[in-house]
Amino acid sequence: MVLKLYARTGWGGGGGIVALTLAEKQIPFEHAAINLAQKEHKTPEFLAMHPFGQVPVIVRAFPQFHRNMRSKALPLLPTGLKERALVEQAASVEFANFLPAVLNVVTEFVRKPLSGMPTDDAASATALAELSTVLDVYETILSKHRYFGGDEFTIADLFHFSYAPMLADAGVPIMTSTGPNVARWWNDLISRPAWIKLKEEGIKGTAI
Ligand SMILES: N[C@@H](CCC(=O)N[C@@H](CS)C(=O)NCC(=O)O)C(=O)O
């Protein structure tokens, strides 16, 4: 096996993003399921791979992994300087603006109810308003090109899968109710076969 992905089984967080990237690029991998509750990410063996003891981790066995990443049909990162800069800028926006806002909404509408913690109406309203403000800017960005980092589907779009799909499942349809361009973009993303498969099955890995 060329590549081994150590991650939880569900699609949320970074593990899902790595699995989705590999699926979109049709790169086979083996999945090593890590159980955080059992602290499997804090063993000496795991800490040797990731000194902070966090998932996901990918380990490659052969240098041909790099050739595979380059040769597959879907690039996910453009090679042109201007196009590449736009994708890197978009990826930074996802990390700095979208991710903190979406995590606050997920905390109020998903994590607290799931763990039996009391929900907080004021915090929920603030979280929704902050995400809505971010998505208003997304509406402007997405009125200029089809995808978040340009006219092609790239890694900058893919990063949005880590938590945002939880919103509709929790009865918060904000990704499709803010503006027509955000809705068009999000509906396009969640229709991708690789995503539909990951959401239905969780991380599975693929046979080589
Ligand atoms: N920047 C980190 C983020 C990874 C991360 O936050 N992983 C979380 C799960 S999504 C984790 O492993 N949490 C358990 C812990 O920190 O003990 C990385 O890319 O390695």
- The reported pLDDT for the residue numbered 74 is 72
Q: State mean pLDDT over 19-37.
A: 94
pLDDT at 34: 97
Ligand 1 closest atom vs CA 14: 10
What is the per-residue pLDDT across 153-196, written as a single tens digit (0 to 9) for each? 999 999 999 999 999 999 999 999 999 999 999 999 999 999 99
CB distance 176 to 183 below 8 Å: yes
The ligand 1 atom at the shortest distance from the C-alpha of residue 55 is 12
* The ligand 1 atom nearest the CA atom of 54: 12
What is the mean predicted confidence (pLDDT) over 112-118? 95
H/E segment holding residue 98 = none
**Is 38's pLDDT higher than 60?**
yes
Query: What's the 81 CA to ligand 1 centre distance in angstroms?
Result: 31
> 159: CA distance to ligand 1 center in Å?
15
Other CB atoms within 10 A of residue 143 CB: 12
Q: What's the CA-to-centroid distance between 16 and ligand 1, angstroms? A: 12
Residue 1's closest CA among 31, 45, 34?
31
Q: Set out the domains of the chain in order of their start, with CATH numbers.
A: 3-75+195-201 (3.40.30.10), 81-192 (1.20.1050.10)
Task: Report which protein residue has its CA nearest ligand 1's atom 20.
Answer: 54
pLDDT tier at 66 (50, 70, 90 boundaries)? low
Q: List all residues 6 or more positions away from 112 whose beta carbon is below 8 Å from its beta carbon.
A: 118, 119, 120
Helix-helix angle 180-189:121-142, to 10 degrees: 90
136-153 confidence digits (pLDDT tens): 999 999 999 999 999 999
Pocket of ligand 1 (CB under 6 A): 13-14, 36, 41, 53-55
Please report, for residues 63, 156, 157, 160, 183, the alpha-carbon distance to residue 78 in angstroms, rounded to integers and kept in the order given: 22, 11, 13, 18, 24
Centre of ligand 1 to C-alpha 35, Å, is 13
Residue of the CA atom closest to atom 10 of ligand 1: 13
Does the CA dihedral 175-178-183-186 come out positive or negative?
negative
| CA 55 to ligand 1 center in whole angstroms | 5
